[in-house]
Amino acid sequence: MMRNCTTVQRSLGAWLDAELGEAERQEIREHLEKCPSCLAEKRRLERLQSALGEALRARASGIAFEPFWREVQRRISEREIPWHARFWDWVRSILYPQRLAWVVPVAMVFLVGAFSLREFFPGWLSGSQRTARTVVDSIDGHGLNVALFRESESRTTVIWLFEDHEEEDEASGSSTQGNPF
């Protein structure tokens, strides 16, 4: 597959770092032989890389070992790693990005499962832990309709009795009336 300048320039850094496979390296090498613009980009990248190394090395020179070592020794003899630093090191060691990639979905499945438990085991949470619920039941007892309205938090039950006027209503077109007890 022939590469265009955009894809070549995107891979040039990895090519210079020798991080590409042989086939890709060959493709880029062939492209560079024919493309002056990508060749110029490669030279700019090389210059950047060597300037970076030189600048950082030049700035870091002149660190004497003896005073450095004395300070490290002083810390070792006088200090302990603070608890919060140990805690964050521990968090970092168990929650690195690759692990998060499966920890997050597993945690989501676990949470969905936990919330769904109530659907499968209605009596799972009982007593004071039960959350406020409103229930409406309808019973037909001996031609008299009973509607029960229960609200668990305030422990209120409203019983609503009404006669079935459905047939009459259909004939007369009026609405059903009832009296709450």
Partner 1 sequence: MIPSDWELVQRWREGEVIAFQELVAKYHQKVFMVVLGILNHREDALEIAQETFFRAYKKINEFKGGSTFYTWIYRIAVNLSIDFQRRKRRNPIELRETSAEVIEGEGEMGSDPYRDLQDRELGKRLMEAINDLTPDHKAVIVLRAIEGLSYKDISRILGCSQGTVMSRLHYARKKLQEKLGPFL
| φ, ψ (nearest 5 deg) of residue 169 | -60, -40
In the complex with partner 1, the residue whose CB is nearer, 57 or 142, is: 57
Helices 5-16, 36-60: crossing angle, 10 deg rounding: 30
Contact 57, 65 (CB under 8 A): no
C-alpha triplet 20, 16, 54: angle, nearest 5°: 145
Q: Which of 5, 39, 48, 161 binds partner 1 (CB under 8 A)?
A: 48
Q: How far is the CB of 62 from partner 1 (least distance, A)?
A: 6
- 113: tokens are 């499962």
The enclosing H or E element of 87 equals: helix 83-94
Alpha carbon dihedral 77, 79, 80, 82, in 10-degree steps, equals -170
Per CB under 8 A, 89 contacts partner 1: yes
Q: Which of 44, 144, 157, 174 binds partner 1 (CB under 8 A)?
A: 44
Q: Which stretch binds partner 1 (CB under 8 A): 80-88, 105-113, 150-158, 161-169?
A: 80-88
- 96: tokens are 């690195």
Per CB under 8 A, 75 contacts partner 1: yes
User: Residue 156 has what DSSP assignment?
Assistant: E
Q: Which of 68, 87, 110, 124 binds partner 1 (CB under 8 A)?
A: 68
Cβ neighbours for 163, distance < 8 A, ≥ 6 positions apart = 143, 144, 145, 178
User: Residue 137 has what DSSP assignment?
Assistant: E
Q: Which of 76, 94, 106, 132 binds partner 1 (CB under 8 A)?
A: 76
Q: How far is the CB of 86 from partner 1 (least distance, A)?
A: 9
Q: Which of 26, 30, 71, 122 binds partner 1 (CB under 8 A)?
A: 71
Per CB under 8 A, 144 contacts partner 1: no
Q: Which stretch binds partner 1 (CB under 8 A): 30-38, 64-72, 140-148, 158-166?
A: 64-72
**Touching partner 1, residues 8-27 (CB under 8 A):** 10, 13-14, 17, 19
Q: Which stretch binds partner 1 (CB under 8 A): 63-71, 138-146, 149-157, 165-173?
A: 63-71
